Structure 1
Amino acid sequence: MSCRVGFVWDTKQHFNRYIEDCGLSCDLITPYMLAAPFFRGTYNCIIIPTGFANPAYSNLLPALRASSPRIIRFIESGGNLLVFGAATEKTDSYDWLPFPVTYLHEFGARGITCTPGSLAGSIIEDYDAARIECDGTFPEHGADCTGRSGSGDVIIEKQIGSGRVFLTTIHEFPSRAFLSGFCRSGIPTLF
């Protein structure tokens, strides 16, 4: 079964190539395309990489906020959304999601403990769980914590309609097994 991933960023990155190396089709979705009412594509999964809210790296946050209803429809209809750390001091960087999330920017290596049997364990399987680079925590949120560093939540998940939102502050590429499994589990959905 073919799987299409939408990678949301200003330009192509190494992450795009990594997604393709995992056997997934990857389309770049720029902030201008995201905010354009005429843009349509069918995807199993949308990925928003680290730094999306930091204007030094990307102009993505305003487009995400403007596209919030489209993103919510995508998830509710069965698409999966994978979002990494905001990489900014803005605590409200995730206000475009359909549930509350507060972000605290704190970059550094951390030990991560994952809920047994959760997807969280597979996202970090290629790394030493005792020392994984993260760019922050989610001190308050309306999701399920499946990955924690000390008292800080670093991986949270929420089922919404037929789709799933997976947020993480890990500052590493996800494992190939996680990426392939998470993206393929999404239902091809109009975005």
Structure 2
Amino acid sequence: MTEVMLVWDNPLLFEKLFTEHGIKCQRIVSDSIGTPFIPPCKCVVIPTGFANKAYTSILPGIERNAKSFEKFVRGGGNLVIFSPVVPEYDYKWLPMELEYKQEYQVTHICKETEHEAQCLVEDTCSEVEFDGYFSKTDGEVIFRSDEGNPLMVVKELGEGKIIATTIHEFPSGNFLKWINETAKKSKL
């Protein structure tokens, strides 16, 4: 069974990261979301740069499939979204309030509250790179920058979670395992 669906339209180094941690990952194009050809999975990951046309053309398919993403999360799946890497972005396709503003920096991250998703970063005491922050959210803020800007949010919805981050680093192996182990198989 495929555990993680990676939404992208060409090969990506990110795929290898899942394989290295023993997690079965399949790359899918956004136009196939919501079709009967996509098997149920536990987690859907949308990598950094998803809204930037210089990197990919998956955005229209993502935005068209808002209901499929909501159904997936409500059914127990985890949806992990990295930065759009455009000057500003409103995640209107998500069943939550989330807006992004691009601003590349290196910062120490500040834990807002304790949350299991903080295992995204192995060493929370060292500096991390981020390419923006969330200017608006109704999700639970779990990481902030030194300046107080939200860098990672979690929103529980039904039996699953939406996890969004602007931290511009590969996630830790513990995070990859956590997003998989805390989810239920759900249809995208």
Name the TM tier (shorter chain): over 0.9
Unaligned runs of 5+ in 1: none
Distance 1:121 1:27 in 2: 24
AA aligned opposite 2:127: R
Unaligned runs of 5+ in 2: none
Cα 1:24/1:188, change in 2 over 3 Å: same
Corresponding residue number in structure 2 for 1:108 = 105
Corresponding residue number in structure 2 for 1:175 = 172
Using structure 2 for the length normalisation, give the TM-score: 0.93
- Structure-to-structure mapping, 1:1-191, within 5 angstroms: 4-34=3-33, 37-92=35-90, 94-125=91-122, 127=123, 129-149=125-145, 150-191=147-188
Cα 1:10/1:103, change in 2 over 3 Å: same
Q: Secondary structure at the match of 1:65?
A: helix
Distance 1:120 1:114 in 2: 11
Q: Secondary structure at the match of 1:42?
A: coil
Distance 2:114 2:98 in 1: 24
AA aligned opposite 2:29: T
Tell me which moved more, 8-17 or 127-136: 127-136
Deviation at residue 183 of structure 1 after TM alignment? 1.6
* Identical counterparts, % of pairs: 30
Deviation at residue 3 of structure 1 after TM alignment? 6.1
Q: Secondary structure at the match of 1:15?
A: helix
Distance 2:136 2:93 in 1: 15
Q: Secondary structure at the match of 1:178?
A: helix
Supply the RMSD in Å over aligned alpha carbons: 1.6
Deviation at residue 46 of structure 1 after TM alignment? 0.3
AA aligned opposite 2:129: E
Distance 2:19 2:113 in 1: 28
Distance 1:16 1:53 in 2: 19
Using structure 1 for the length normalisation, give the TM-score: 0.92
Deviation at residue 98 of structure 1 after TM alignment? 0.3
Number of equivalences: 187
Give the conservation status (yes or no) of the 8 Å contact 1:3–1:184: no
TM-superposition CA deviations, 1:138-166 (whole Å, max 9, x none): 01111010000021000000000000010
